[in-house]
Amino acid sequence: MASKQQLSIEQKQTLRLLPIQKQMGELLEMNPHEIEERVSQEIDDNPALEYAVDSDEQDLNSTTEDGGAFKENERSISDYGGNNDDETPYYMRRARNSSVDDDYYEAPMAAEQSLSEFLLNQLREREELSPAQEMIAEYIIGALDDAGYLERTTAAIADDVTFKEGIEVETPEVEEMLATIQELDPAGIGARDVRECLMLQLEREKATDINRLAYDIVNRDFVNLSTRRFDRLLSRYNIDRETLDRVLAKIKSLNAKPASAFAGGSSENQRLQISPDFHVEVNREDKSLTLTLLNRVPELQISESFSLENERLAADGAKSLPRAKRDEVAFIRSKYNSAADFIKVLKMRQDTLFRTMRAIVEKQRDYFLTGDAAAIHPLRLQDIADVIDMDVSVVSRATSNKYVDSIWGIKPLKFFFNERLTTASGVDVSSREVMETIRHIVDDEDKAKPLSDDRILDALHERGYNIKRRTVAKYREQLGIPASTARRRTNSSSN
What residue spans define the domains of the chain?
Answer: 19-106+290-347, 194-252, 420-494
pLDDT given at position 446: 84
401: left (phi over 0), alpha (psi -120 to 50) or beta: left
Question: Which is more confidently placed, 405 or 125?
Answer: 405
With a cut of 70, say whether residue 436 has pLDDT above it: yes
Distances from the Cα of 470 to the Cα of 7, 95, 210, angstroms:
56, 44, 31
For residue 404, give the H/E element and its range.
Answer: strand 403-406
**pLDDT category of residue 424 using cuts at 50, 70 and 90:** low
**Highest-confidence range of 7-21, 104-118, 241-255, by mean pLDDT?**
241-255
Pairwise CA distance, residues 36 & 96, whole Å: 15
Contact 405, 279 (CB under 8 A): yes
pLDDT given at position 72: 40
Percent of the chain with pLDDT over 90: 22
Contact 398, 439 (CB under 8 A): no
Distances from the Cα of 253 to the Cα of 229, 256, 425, 436, angstroms:
20, 9, 42, 24
Fold of domain 420-494: Arc Repressor Mutant, subunit A (1.10.10)
pLDDT given at position 421: 59
Mean pLDDT of 349-363: 95
Query: Helix or strand or coil: residue 465?
Result: strand
> How confident is the model over 310-334, as pLDDT tens digits?
787 777 664 566 666 777 788 888 8
DSSP letter for 317, please: T
Percent of the chain with pLDDT over 70: 74
Mean pLDDT of 368-385: 86
Where is average pLDDT lowest: 43-52, 110-119, 164-173, 339-348?
110-119
Where is average pLDDT lowest: 59-63, 174-178, 451-455, 460-464?
59-63
Pairwise CA distance, residues 396 & 102, whole Å: 30
Pairwise CA distance, residues 30 & 18, whole Å: 19
**Highest-confidence range of 34-43, 71-80, 96-105, 425-434, by mean pLDDT?**
34-43
pLDDT given at position 172: 92
The one-letter code for the residue type at 255 is N
Query: Helix or strand or coil: residue 487?
Result: helix
pLDDT given at position 73: 37
**Highest-confidence range of 242-246, 415-419, 453-457, by mean pLDDT?**
242-246
For residue 44, count CB atoms less than 10 angstroms from its CB and return exposed for 0-12, middle for 13-18, buried for 19 or more.
exposed
